Amino acid sequence: MLEQTDTKVVVVDKNVERLESCAQIVDGAKLLREGEIVAFPTETVYGLGANALSDQAVAKIYQAKGRPSDNPLIVHIADLTQLKQVVREVSERANRLIEAFWPGPLTLIMPKSAQVADLVTAGLDTVGVRMPDHPVALALIKQANVPVAAPSANRSGKPSPTTAEHVRTDLNGRIPYLIDGGTAGIGVESTVLDVTVEPPLILRPGGITAEQIAAVIGEVRLDPALQADAGETPRAPGMKYTHYAPGGDMWLVEGEADKVAVKMKELLEQAKSNGLKTGVLVPEEFASIWEAEPCADIVISCGSLQHLETVAQNLYASLRMFDEFQVQSIISMTVPKTGIGITIMNRMEKAAGGQVIRV
């Protein structure tokens, strides 16, 4: 598979009628049934899918991404009938969450069925399942008529892809087929919630917040392993290894705005004195200030503090832009850890390898 020529890229309009019947969808679904891998858009990020019931097919995901095989994958379904193929039982609590949030960016950890390929769950007796809220993803999975295991469609460790071009940059020639369905809307991965424990545990923050979940089922907790200094091993996809990282070294500076600005300038001057190309990542409220400063080579604003969902939407694309400009040292402001801000900061801390300076 890795010796092939360029990946075939096809464009699909997610708004067309009878999407399942589009030739591009039919061809992609055929590849999935035949044990191949296909990249496709979801409402969170682009995914790289394979038949979740076939170890041989799933192995191609790990090979293409360069992903460790002890890192479990999420299974995507198009309707609730497929859920019976993937899990042994669905609790009353899980049913309430499914009714509230599916299709949508919530992955539920449930007891896995014997049909699910062992490589999907990395040997665990549970499996993460979600129903994506994207017409192209749903049409592809429904047409394939198999549940689809799909991590993000990028090289392992790099920022997740939110456009087909990001996928092509990372995986061209490593996968046979890429469906371009436009830019992903949410921009960060799904929330992963373990409903097999009491109280339910958020293993990965994502597009659905803890507050939204609690409003449906009551108490939920964050996995202690999500704390950078917890000393525990995360149990959710994408949380175990260095992830979401740009090529350059990245530092986060947290604290009062005035003190943050002073520290960021200090770090930038130090990087420049070492001959490094520098970049600054800030919310748009601070962009004009930094653009007026001559201390950074590149300034990127990635959304508004007043609307943190815009930061989530633009985060991965911003990190990839630093790579395009070959930035070697990235200094970033942080965002408040409330609501979707918890998800944003989780991804930023992973991208920075835990390099956070508090002032």
User: Which parts are annotated binding residues?
Assistant: 44, 67, 71, 76, 126, 130, 150, 152, 160, 190, 204, 244
Residue 332, SS3 per DSSP:
strand
Q: Encoding tokens for residue 223?
A: 């996995």
Report d(CA 270, CA 249) in Å as an integer: 13
Beta-carbon contacts of 258 under 8 Å, excluding residues fewer than 6 positions away, are none
Q: Encoding tokens for residue 238?
A: 């994408």
Report d(CA 268, CA 248) in Å as an integer: 13
The helix (H) or strand (E) run that includes residue 126 is strand 126-130
Q: Which residues are annotated as a binding site for ATP?
A: 67, 71, 126, 152, 160, 204, 244
The helix (H) or strand (E) run that includes residue 232 is none
Q: Encoding tokens for residue 227?
A: 């704390």
Is the peptide bond preceding residue 234 cis, with omega within 30 degrees of 0? Answer: no
Distances (CA, A) of 229 to 18, 81, 240: 50, 41, 14
CB 246 within 8 A of CB 323: yes
Q: Which residues are annotated as a binding site for L-threonine?
A: 44, 76, 130, 150, 190
Strand order across the beta sheet in which 148-149 lies: 8-11, 177-180, 38-41, 46-51, 148-149, 74-76, 126-130, 106-111, 191-194, 201-204, 221-222
